[in-house]
Amino acid sequence: MAKQPMLKFVDVKRDMPEKRDAILRNQDFDEIYAEFARAKAEEQASRCSQCGVPYCQTHCPLHNNIPDWLLMTAEGRLKEAYELSQATNTFPEICGRICPQDRLCEGNCVIENSGHETVTIGAVEKYITDTAWDNGWVTPNLPHTERTDSVGIIGAGPGGLAAADVLRCAGVQVTVYDRYDRAGGLLTYGIPSFKLEKPVVMRRIEQLEQAGVQFVMNCNVGDDLSFQAITGQHDAVLIATGVYKPRGLQAPGVGAAGVVQALDYLTASNKVSFGDEVPEYVSGALNAADKRVVVIGGGDTAMDCVRTAIRQGATSVKCLYRRDKANMPGSMREVQNAEEEGVEFIWQTAPNGFVGGPVESVKVQKMRLGAADATGRQSPEVIEGADYNEPADLVVMALGFSPEDLPTLWDEDALGVTRWGTIKADFKTHATEMDGVYAVGDIVRGASLVVWAISDGRGAANSIIEYLNSAAVIAAQ
């Protein structure tokens, strides 16, 4: 009888790929985790219990068939594991790197809930796909038959790119419009290279181009090209713009030099990593070198900012967050990485203004946690008389993002929005109130996860194909 390759969680302890020492990784923007060796990947995959109800799969927005590709990895069937992983996920190597597995698949692993620590699903997913790339198993999704239908996608982020992949595989003609000079959205310009090295993103975009996806870059819809022009030349349109409007802060001195927005700061850093000339970086306006840096916020974007500042050579990096560590919205793994790298967290504090111009310090209010709000989280309350000034030469505002007013920007009143400004779209089909127009990702959900955008994009693409097929049937009658 063949030896059971799985169910080894009782004897084999959880292990992660080796993490580079903080002193070394602070000197560059390379990814901080090493790659699993084949034997280690097989060993860790073999810890899966192959449970009858796989909660890891249920809690994955893409419903990836995780237990089966863990089994295939444990048995050394890596090409099959990759093909199964790719069947439900357009970018498995990206999700393996940046998904908050601790809140999704790994956080709902059955063996962890029984006290044996979770399977390292994300690291194995990354290993499978990186191995597939190394062996030439990853090829463009070329269609078997071309169609005459045309779809325009506004936004080259993960949602738009995932939809483009599915549509091209079905033979639909796809054109992607984006305001930036490179495709990828936040994958390219929002997420630092130490979490997601840019060649990983660029090779997927090159594959989409090889599959026949057309990209129109540096195109700001509403200015360079009207929304009506796009809807007029395509049989269907998908809106996947994301949310880029930074949430503001009403406080004295908020417009002072040296008080910058998180996305501006991260974009400048990522452009430098591509070798681009960035005047704001050279001048120091978006460069933390030799500065006392204060980042305001507690999400993953704030963690990206503090860890970027460390690598740029800041003299000190502090993060202000109005709640305590247990109530941070960001990944605990990212907080741990930041602490290892030298970031100081000042819990239960909030900004109340800025001194100087250029900025010299942040006026800080000390907070305490009071009664729970409607979500069940304790609401922060100001401690009167406990204010102080925190010295700072650069302040990065990472308070989250809101949707832009697309109906106004695009001069399209028929595009319905919610009271939060997000696009109204059917939860299942992703169809908006306009015929033939669909919307996915953060512009529908509000600021959310990359994996949800991928899921939405793939689902919307299938809905669009059904719409195009129905239109073809009606036209043939």
Task: Indicate whether 212 pLDDT > 80.
Answer: yes
Question: Could you give all domains of the chain from N- to C-terminal order, each with its CATH number?
Answer: 22-134 (1.10.1060.10), 150-243+403-476 (3.50.50.60), 253-400 (3.50.50.60)
Q: Which residues of 16-46 are buried (b: 16+ CB within 10 A; e: fewer)?
A: ebeebeeeebbeebebbbebbeeebbbbbbb
The residues, ordered by sequence, that sit 6+ positions from 275 with a Cβ below 8 Å of its Cβ are none
Q: Please return the burial class of 339, using the count of CB atoms within 10 Å of its CB with bins 0-12, 13-18 and 19+.
A: middle
Give the predicted TM-score (pTM) of the model: 0.93
pLDDT category at 135 given cuts 50, 70, 90 is: very high
pLDDT tens digits, residue range 43-91?
Answer: 999 999 999 889 999 999 999 999 999 999 999 999 999 999 999 999 9
For 451, phi then psi, to 5°, come to -65, -30
Tell me the chain's radius of gyration from C-alpha atoms: 23
Helix axes 450-476, 158-169, angle to 10 degrees: 40
| Cα 365 from Cα 322, distance rounded (Å) | 9
pLDDT band for 1, please (50, 70, 90 cuts): very low
pLDDT, one tens digit per residue, over 407-440 is: 999 999 999 999 999 999 999 999 999 999 999 9
